[in-house]
Structure 1
Amino acid sequence: MELWRLVAVAAAGFGAGLVNTVVGSGSLITYPLMVMFGVPPVSANIANTVGLVPGSIAGAWGYRRELGALKGLLVSLGAASVVGATTGAYLLTRLPAAAFTFAVPVLVLAAALLVAFQQRIAARLRPTEGTRWVPLVVVVFLSGVYGGYFSAAQGVILLGVLGLFLAVGIQEQNALKNLLQMLVNLVAAIFFVTTGPVRWDYAGAVAAGSVIGATAGAWLARRIPSRVLRLFIVVFGVIMACYLGYRALA
């Protein structure tokens, strides 16, 4: 890979790590860029998932203080995420590549729209009197399946549903989101590394940038509004969905 592409992918990894920690959906930055550089969609998704693991770990570590109050949830929800991620990664490697090529523009557009309406979703969330375990575990499992298959906006999905079933504040929800997102990325990455080839040049560039971005994101998430960042992701996601849809039909 040429040096300028390496730098561009690392810069995108920084943005993805930061965005994933703050609001989720950082894959909308790295995945489309790799596709634009000529990486096949499935290979780009695998490299993206593997590359974002270090950033996901850094983001979860940055929220370790809030996670301390959620110890009772971590085992059950973590297990649901692991099983879901394994299922999603298996589907990615077993379904025809053409199915992924046509599904991705729809998934990217859906992810961008989820980001666009995240504030409205959050505004409707109200703390419940207690944790509703069955629906909570089910939605965490399903988000894990989605994340194992295609990771973009997994964090937004989690933020959109955790408050419906979990009686904790938004910072605790974000901490839990980062931890579950990390588990899904890690499990899917292990599955991909052990079952097929990985574009390590792209994955390494994403990893290098995402660690720095995630560390910065954990600091920024507590201090700045995310409106401008969210607007950028939405516009970028819609443009990329159109571009990827064009490539799929061409």
Structure 2
Amino acid sequence: MNLLDAAAVFAAGVAAGGINTVVGSGSLITFPTLVALGYVPVVANVSNNIGLVPGGVTGAYGYRAELKGQRGRLLRLGSASLIGAVVGALLLLGLPASAFKFIVPILIVIALVLVVVQPRLQGWIRRRREDGGGHAHGGPWLWIGVLLAGMYGGYFGAAQGIVLIALLGIMLDDDLQRLNASKNVLSAIVNGTAAIMFIATWLFGDTGINWWAVLLIAAGSTVGGFIGAKVGRRIPPLVLRGVIVVVGVVAIVNLLR
């Protein structure tokens, strides 16, 4: 990796950290950047996943006040996230690279749609909460939904946070900030679990990881998280979503070549 490439990856990490803080979907910045720089898609995905773990942990820690009283909920739903992440990571490691190249454009399209409709989704969740919708525990359907979100996150992960906050907002009767705190923890569980599996298989020589990309994304996303918390909210959401959509479309084009 030359100096220019390193600067691009670090900048993508900063952008991803900031975007994850504001609207989510930071992987739609870092993953396409790695692909555009010539990394094999699976290697780009695995390296990106590991690199974003520190930012996820920091985000969860930043919401520690809102996490009070949620231990039981997080233990129950965390088990679904962990199992789902294991299944998703195994699918990524077990399926041929050609399958990933075929499936990921579809997942990116789904992620882009979620990014575009997120404001309407949040508005619907807010109205539902005002009308007394949602439940205290979510029941088995929420557990299954979180399991499927974990599989998605373990396999690819872009817009996983949007999926989780939608599930939690629909199924649980709680303050949106507390639900966002739960979402951060569940996302961190998924990304951390998948990262551990990727590193373990790398030790046996079965998984390609570019550690320079990991380190640069980790450093960038950490910086971006702090910037996003202070400055990101000043950027018009429409502009951010526009950037994400453009980058996502570029990623699809690169993958389909």
CA offset at residue 107 of structure 1?
1.0
In the alignment, is residue 170 of structure 1 matched against residue 176 of structure 2? yes
In the alignment, is residue 237 of structure 1 matched against residue 255 of structure 2? no
Compared with structure 1, are the counterparts of its residues 174 and 22 closer, same or farther at alpha carbon in structure 2 (3 Å cutoff)? farther
Amino acid of the structure 2 residue aligned with 1:198: I
Compared with structure 1, are the counterparts of its residues 226 and 171 closer, same or farther at alpha carbon in structure 2 (3 Å cutoff)? farther
Percent sequence identity is 48
Amino acid of the structure 1 residue aligned with 2:68: G
How do 1:39-50 and structure 2 match up within 5 A?
39-50=39-50
- The superposition leaves residues 198-248 of structure 1 with CA deviations (integer Å, 9 ceiling, x where unpaired) of 210111110110111123334567787633322321232233223322x2x
Distance 2:71 2:100 in 1: 36
Is the 2:85–2:191 contact (alpha carbons within 8 Å) kept by the matching residues of 1? yes
Compared with structure 1, are the counterparts of its residues 116 and 59 closer, same or farther at alpha carbon in structure 2 (3 Å cutoff)? same
Is the 1:59–1:218 contact (alpha carbons within 8 Å) kept by the matching residues of 2? no
How do 1:21-60 and structure 2 match up within 5 A?
21-60=21-60
CA offset at residue 15 of structure 1?
1.1
- The superposition leaves residues 22-81 of structure 1 with CA deviations (integer Å, 9 ceiling, x where unpaired) of 222100000011011110000000000010011111111111121124233111111111
How do 1:38-187 and structure 2 match up within 5 A?
38-125=38-125, 126-127=128-129, 128-187=134-193
3-state DSSP class of the match of 2:157? coil
Distance 1:240 1:36 in 2: 8
Distance 1:65 1:88 in 2: 30
Distance 2:68 2:233 in 1: 17
Distance 1:73 1:44 in 2: 33
Distance 2:232 2:59 in 1: 10
In the other structure, the counterpart of 2:205 is: none
CA offset at residue 88 of structure 1?
0.4
Is the 1:21–1:178 contact (alpha carbons within 8 Å) kept by the matching residues of 2? no
Compared with structure 1, are the counterparts of its residues 221 and 2 closer, same or farther at alpha carbon in structure 2 (3 Å cutoff)? closer
Q: Number of residues paired by the alignment?
A: 246
Distance 2:26 2:51 in 1: 12
Which residue of 202, 218, 226 corresponds with 2:213? 202
Which residue of 179, 189, 198 corresponds with 2:195? 189
Amino acid of the structure 2 residue aligned with 1:160: A
Report the more deviating stretch, 93-102 or 214-223.
214-223
| RMSD of aligned alpha carbons | 1.8
Distance 1:129 1:79 in 2: 19
Distance 2:191 2:117 in 1: 24
CA offset at residue 129 of structure 1?
4.5
Distance 2:214 2:174 in 1: 35
Which residue of 217, 224, 240 corresponds with 1:213? 224
Distance 1:192 1:226 in 2: 33
Give unpaired runs (5+ residues) of structure 2. Answer: 203-207
3-state DSSP class of the match of 1:67? coil
TM-score, length-scaled by structure 2? 0.90
Compared with structure 1, are the counterparts of its residues 57 and 129 closer, same or farther at alpha carbon in structure 2 (3 Å cutoff)? closer
3-state DSSP class of the match of 1:49? helix
CA offset at residue 20 of structure 1?
1.7
CA offset at residue 156 of structure 1?
1.2
